[in-house]
Amino acid sequence: MGAVKKHQKHTNLAKAHLGFFARNEWAIIGTSCGNIKKVAYQLTKILSKDYKVAYVDADHADEQNKVHDFHRQTAGPQMQYTHKISHHQFSLHAHLESYQYRYWFNEQDLVIVNGNHFKAKQQIVVIDPQKKASLSRKLDRLTNVSLILLMERDQEIFDFLQEYLPNLAEIPVCSIEETEAVGTLLRKQMENAVPPLYGLVLAGGKSTRMGSDKGLIDYHGKPQREYVADLLGPYCEEVFISCRADQMNDIPSPYQGLSDQLIGLGPFGGISSAFQQNPNAAWLVVACDLPLLDENTLAQLVKGRNVSKIATAFNSPHNEFPEPLITIWEPKSYPILMQFLAQGYSCPRKVLIHSDVELLDADDKDRLMNVNNPAEKKQVDQLIIK
């Protein structure tokens, strides 16, 4: 008999590097909930200058004391939304899985978690003698300790932690009062966690208006799709040419093709397919029909990148809308793109218009000119010096 093949029911998709709530999350554990909340709020004040920060905690008082009418209703709404003018409030009567948490926290840059109640991808351990026994029962939650806080200076770290954490000597130690220093350490970790930048040249269109493949037009001594890929090279770890499946064999080495997995969605399908291949990278997406695009314009976009937003884009020189086809799409934009698709929208520009994005005005707006038909090509041919 031959070897038995392993049965796989589902497509082996690339997984996003997520924690229980978000990509970047720290649980504070080892002290009282009051101390955890105090530290969390101090860190939020420091880090919110540069990042979107969320806090996760548990409050049993409402359930025990039956304070809110919403929780007392046995046949009431499962969800209640209140517009508080200065903010929005949702009350949800349901059990949440990690998949739902990640949806709600998708746009947050970092999440600080009360580790007494919830797990997180990284942990900050507080050395609190009053909670020593409690911490010793929660060692299974210490999967990636990145910082230790001392309640009192010159405290000894608990013996069981010295045994449980083989890399203890490498973990930074601060006083719990040194919140500025703690904020600096977390900020450095956030800077090291910036998603890598990949490049994507959109060249899978049928070029109906042009009458010939726009990606193969020679403006600069080589096919335009390859010219744009070369432009992206200095700014990206890897560059791919987005194309239809029937074009894959025509992509010459050393260029890499990436065929659309979502068929019939145009640029939206190309962007989504890129995230399907690598959901942990940011994608610098450029259409192949921008023959005047130059290094200076790309450098301006990359320099203006705001990783706290879902995308960084130029304002269109022709209208007040963002230009979606020369844009850096951050990993957090992937779930948002899928949300729009689920509601029947496949326009990347609509996603940018209705999302939190960084918008730039191009230093040279002429570099953003699209060429979609022979008349526009003739105009551009006269501008390009070959």
φ, ψ dihedrals at 149, nearest 5°: -115, 135
Give the DSSP letter string of 15-58.
PP---SSSSSEEEEESS-HHHHHHHHHHHHHHHTTTS-EEEE--
Q: Which domains, ranges and CATH numbers included, belong to the chain? A: 25-57+80-192 (3.40.50.300), 197-383 (3.90.550.10)
Range scoring the smallest mean pLDDT among 41-45, 86-90, 371-375: 371-375
In this structure, the number of other CB atoms found within 10 A of the CB of residue 94 comes to: 8
pTM above 0.95, yes or no: no
Are 244 and 204 in contact by the 8 Å Cβ rule? The answer is yes
Q: How far apart are CA 142 and CA 320, in angstroms?
A: 49
Are 354 and 321 in contact by the 8 Å Cβ rule? The answer is no
Examine the pLDDT at 218 and tell me if it is beyond 80.
Answer: yes
Give me the pLDDT at residue 96, please. 87
Torsion angle of C-alpha atoms 112, 117, 120, 122, degrees rounded to 10: 70
Give me the pLDDT at residue 67, please. 46
Instruction: Name the 3-class secondary structure at 81.
Output: strand
Render pLDDT for 305-348 as a digit per residue (tens, 0 to 9): 999 999 999 999 888 899 999 999 999 999 999 999 999 999 99
Residue type (1 letter), 376: E
Q: Around 164, how many Cα atoms within 13 Å sit in the side-chain half-sphere?
A: 17
Examine the pLDDT at 2 and tell me if it is beyond 90.
Answer: no
Please indicate whether residue 4 or residue 322 has the higher confidence score (pLDDT): 322
Residue type (1 letter), 110: L
Give me the pLDDT at residue 217, please. 85
Provide the percentage of residues in the chain whose pLDDT is more than 90.
70
CA distances for 25 relative to 47, 110, 127, 216, 373, angstroms: 13, 5, 20, 45, 49
Render pLDDT for 60-86 as a digit per residue (tens, 0 to 9): 665 545 445 555 555 678 888 899 888
Mean pLDDT, residues 368-380: 79
Q: How far apart are CA 28 and CA 110, in angstroms?
A: 13
Render pLDDT for 112-158 as a digit per residue (tens, 0 to 9): 999 999 999 999 999 999 999 999 999 999 999 999 999 988 889 99
The mean predicted confidence, pLDDT, of the chain is 89
